[in-house]
Amino acid sequence: MRILVLGFTGYLGGHVVEHLRALPGARVFGGGRSPAAELDIDLATARTDGLAKTLASAAPDAVINCAGSTDGDAVTLAEVNSRGPAVLCAALREAAPSARLVQLGSAAEYGPGTPDTRVTEASATRPVTPYGATKLAGTVTVTASGLDAVVLRVGNPVGPGAPPTGLPGRIAGLLRAAGPDPDAVIRLGDLSAYRDFVDVRDVARAAVLAATSPGPLPHVLNIGSGRAVPVRELVGTLARTAGFRGRIEEDGGGSARSGAVSWQCSDIAAAGDSLDWRPSYALEESLAALWAATPLRPEGGRAP
C-alpha cells in the first residue's frame, strides 16, 4: 500500500510516519517543504495542476494530511488550514480519485462546549478563533469533495515531542529550565479551562487505521480521550513528574485562542465503532513520555 503523509516532519506527522513504517507492506512517502521530503509539496502555495502531476507520480492509495498551522495571523492560517485542503482535494480528484484522504482536523472547530457534555460529530460547529474557523473551512472542503475522505477532529494532543507552541510542550520547557530550584517561580495564565487531552501516539494510530480501513467511513470522526481534564491538573501532574520544587502562579491572563473556550470534551464512540479505535494511553503516561523527551537545557542557555 502506497501512503503519502503531508506535514510528515511535524509533531503529528512524525508520529504518523513512525506508525506507518511498522505496517507490513506499506510504502510511505513524505511530502512537504523539508529537504528530507521525497515529494516537494507546499499546500499553502501549490497550484492544482502542478500538485496533480506530483500526486500522479506517487500514485498513492491513501493520503494523510497532517499539514496545518496553529500560529500566525488569519491570512497565514487560512493559507495552510483552508486553502491547503482545497487544493489537495482538487488535485486528488484529477490525479488519484480513488485514494483515501485522511484529513487531521481539530476539536477547535466546535467552539465553546457545554460543561459535563461531550460533543458528537453531529454537534454544531461554532469556532471562535481564526484557527478554529480555518480548520472548519478545511473540513467542509474535504467532506464536500466527493472523495473517499474522512476528517479526524483531534482534541488536544499531548505526549513525546510536544512543540513549545502548545501548552504541554511550553510547560515542560519551563519546568526543565527551572530545574530543582525550590525558589523557582513559573507564572502562567488562567488554568481553569477543561480540555480533552489525547496522546499523540493514539492520534497517529487513529490516522493509520483511517487510512487503511476497508470500506467507506463517516465524513467526520472525533479523536480524543472522551474525558475533560482541568488544565490546572495537567500542569500539576507534569510538575510532579518533573520533580518541580518551586511555585506555580496564575496571573489570570491566557491566550486568546483558548480563553473563549472554557470546556472541551469529545464523544469518541463513533471512532470506536468505525475504526475499532480507543485511546490506549492514560494522561499520566503521556506526560511522563513528554517529560522524558523534553531536551535538557545547557547552563544559562536554551534547549538545543
Q: Which residues are catalytic?
A: 131
DSSP β-bridge partners for residue 101: 63, 149
Using CA atoms, how far residue 61 sits from 45, 110, 226, 268, 272, in Å, is: 24, 30, 31, 26, 23
| Size of the chain, expressed as the number of residues it contains | 304
CA distance 61 to 28: 10
Cell numbers for 180 = 530543582
CA dist 287 and 213 (Å) reads: 30
The grid cell for 48 is 492544482
Contacts of 187 (CB under 8 A, 6+ apart): 248, 249, 250, 251
β-strand partners of 104: 152
Q: What is the dihedral of CA 42, 131, 138, 21, to 10 degrees?
A: 60
The three-class DSSP label of residue 94 is helix
**DSSP secondary structure, 1-27, as one string:** -EEEEETTTSHHHHHHHHHHTTSTT-E
